[in-house]
Amino acid sequence: MQTEELKVAVLGHKIRVVIRPGQGPDVRTVVIVNGIATRLDTLDGLVDKMDPSLEIIRFDPPGIGGSWSWGIPYGIPAVAAGVVAILDKLGRRDPVDVVGYSWGGVVAQQIALQSPRRVRRLVLLSSNTGVMSVPGSMQSMAMMMNPLMAQISHTDDKAIGDIYGGLARQRAEDVRQLLKADLESHAQGLMLQLLAAMTWTTLPMVRFIYQPTMILAGTDDPMVPMLNARMLADQIPAGRLYTHEGGHLEALLDPDRFGPMISKFLTAKRPGVPD
């Protein structure tokens, strides 16, 4: 499906935005917020498998991919405000659905907290609450903190499996191809994203998220352990936990399964249980 790419000015800096138009009479807008140091392009496979009635808006975080760096430290609330600003610039003022992947899940929670009338439903993929969450494995955390170590780790098949779990244990080359462009650059953008995550938590506030929320988590995710998803499901009143036996990148490595699953939750008249 054809997409539109543009640059949107947020806080004086250009953010790369890609829009996949929705089809049919009942189009709903979905914003996807991606993870640490990853371009919006890593979501291509997942987006292609999502319901065609969904208009999908993605963006590169500041300092990542085609987005300018903000140049100074920023917080998760600033990113959440930036997402709302993008929607305003695009003329999307009705409530939207927000899908947050990993780091993007913390941003998605914050959007629902500080701009609740702008959010209809939430999907949190392999995510946590930021600070005060259950940390991942030492290897995963060390890889995120050091771009050079990340590049070295991704040359070793076993290391890739140990970092991400799930399908990554058998498909290391697919992971390398998926993340190749991200591993070669974005050091400043990565550090600013990490700083934002390390200085913010939604944990005391998630109980105030009232939107229907799908919480998708893998039992083999070394980066974001399952206990984080259980905490979110316990705290969000309308949150429902959906588990799978995969790892951190499962939705990207198996879009044929996860695209329709997420779409079913977002397009249902009343959120139900995916197949």
Strand partners, 17: 6, 59
Those residues of the chain that have pLDDT short of 70 are 147-148, 185-186, 272-275
Determine the pLDDT at residue 275: 42
Q: Which residues are catalytic?
A: 102
User: Does residue 97 contact residue 266 with C-beta atoms inside 8 Å?
Assistant: yes
Determine the pLDDT at residue 109: 98
Domain residue spans of the chain: 4-259
Could you tell me the CA-to-CA distances from 78 to 61, 114, 193 in Å, in that order? 12, 10, 11
Q: Is 174 exposed, middle or buried (0-12, 13-18, 19+ CB in 10 A)?
A: middle
Determine the pLDDT at residue 274: 46
Classify strands 28-33 and 96-101 as parallel, antiparallel or unpaired. Answer: parallel
CATH class of 4-259: alpha beta
* pLDDT tens, position by position, 79-104: 999 999 999 999 999 999 999 999 99
- Which of 178, 190, 180 shows the shortest CA–CA distance to 145? 190
CA–CA distance, 188 with 207 (Å, rounded to integer): 33
Buried b (16+ CB within 10 A) or exposed e, 180-212: eebbeebeebbebbeebbeebbbbeebeebebb
